[in-house]
Structure formats: structure tokens, C-alpha cells
């Protein structure tokens, strides 16, 4: 089970991934809903997280919020870090392609998590992402 701070850090990372390629794919919203459910983010927590994200993006606290979320991620156990990388890789692959910016961001998070690239392959991510595609 993830703590509220870990959930905030995961959503922060998810938002970074969604914005990495400059394109918001329609399937990302569906995947967000699935991830929120799997993380047991209720409406109260979702509101709190979104307020935090809005505050971080519209204030000078953005850089400190970025560092704070990385510190939280570094403190997570290995299974939670693997879950985060799986989430981010699937989110990057939801449009059928992991572009260079998304790949660089994934590499950054793998380094932060101290996980090798082979933990979750791009091919697996694209296969996994197809479960969330809106038809």
C-alpha cells in the first residue's frame, strides 16, 4: 500500500511523463483512471493531489516540489519503485510509441529508483498499454 506522499510523488511523475512528448493522447485519461483505482486514490486524495500539483506548477515552489517527489521515490521500497517504473513505462507507451523525451525521462526515473533498464522493456510496455486503449 502506498502512502499519501508516495501517491503524490507517483502522480507528479505521471504528469511529467504525460507532458514529456508534448502530446496528450486520449487513452492517457483512461489509463490515469485505472492507475488511480489501483493506487486506491479516493476523491479526497485526488483533490489534495491535484491541488498540490497545481500549486507546484504555478508557483516558485515547483523546483522544490520536484526535488521533494524525487526524495519520496528514493525512499520507497524496491517493489514500489518497480511499480512506479511499470506505471511510467506503460503511460509512455499508451500512444504506441515511446519517443526520445519519454525514454530520457524513464531513464532518469530508473536512475532515481536504482533500477536497471531491463526491469520493464518497451515491448512489454506497449503490450501492457494495449489493455487501456479506448476502442
> What's the structural domain count of the chain?
1
Flag whether 135 is in a domain.
Answer: no
Q: Is the pLDDT of residue 84 over 80?
A: yes
- The whole-number pLDDT of residue 121 equals 56
Summarize pLDDT for 33-74 with one digit per residue, the tens: 888 888 889 888 888 888 877 776 655 545 677 788 899 999
* Residue 54 domain flag: yes
Structural domain boundaries enclosing 47: 4-130
Q: What pTM was computed for the model?
A: 0.82
Whether the predicted pLDDT of 28 surpasses 90:
no
11-15 own/partner pairs: CB under 8 Å, 24+ apart: 11/41, 11/49, 11/53, 12/53, 12/56, 12/65, 12/66, 12/69, 13/69, 13/73, 13/84, 13/87, 13/88, 13/109, 14/87, 14/88, 14/91, 15/53
The answer to the question of residue 113 being in a domain is: yes
Residue 123's CATH number: 1.10.3680.10
Amino acid at each position: 500500500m502506498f502512502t499519501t506522499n508516495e501517491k503524490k510523488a507517483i502522480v507528479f511523475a505521471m504528469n511529467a511523463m504525460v507532458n514529456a512528448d508534448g502530446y496528450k493522447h486520449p487513452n492517457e485519461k483512461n489509463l490515469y483512471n485505472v492507475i488511480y483505482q489501483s493506487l486506491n486514490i479516493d476523491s479526497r486524495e485526488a483533490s489534495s493531489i491535484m491541488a498540490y500539483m497545481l500549486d507546484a506548477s504555478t508557483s516558485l515552489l515547483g523546483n522544490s516540489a520536484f526535488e521533494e517527489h524525487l526524495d519520496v521515490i528514493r525512499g520507497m521500497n524496491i517493489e514500489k519503485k518497480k511499480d512506479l517504473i511499470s506505471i511510467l513505462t506503460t503511460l509512455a507507451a499508451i500512444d504506441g510509441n515511446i519517443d526520445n523525451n519519454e525514454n530520457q525521462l524513464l531513464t532518469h526515473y530508473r536512475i532515481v529508483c536504482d533500477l536497471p533498464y531491463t526491469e520493464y522493456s518497451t515491448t512489454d510496455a506497449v503490450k501492457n498499454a494495449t489493455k487501456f486503449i479506448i476502442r
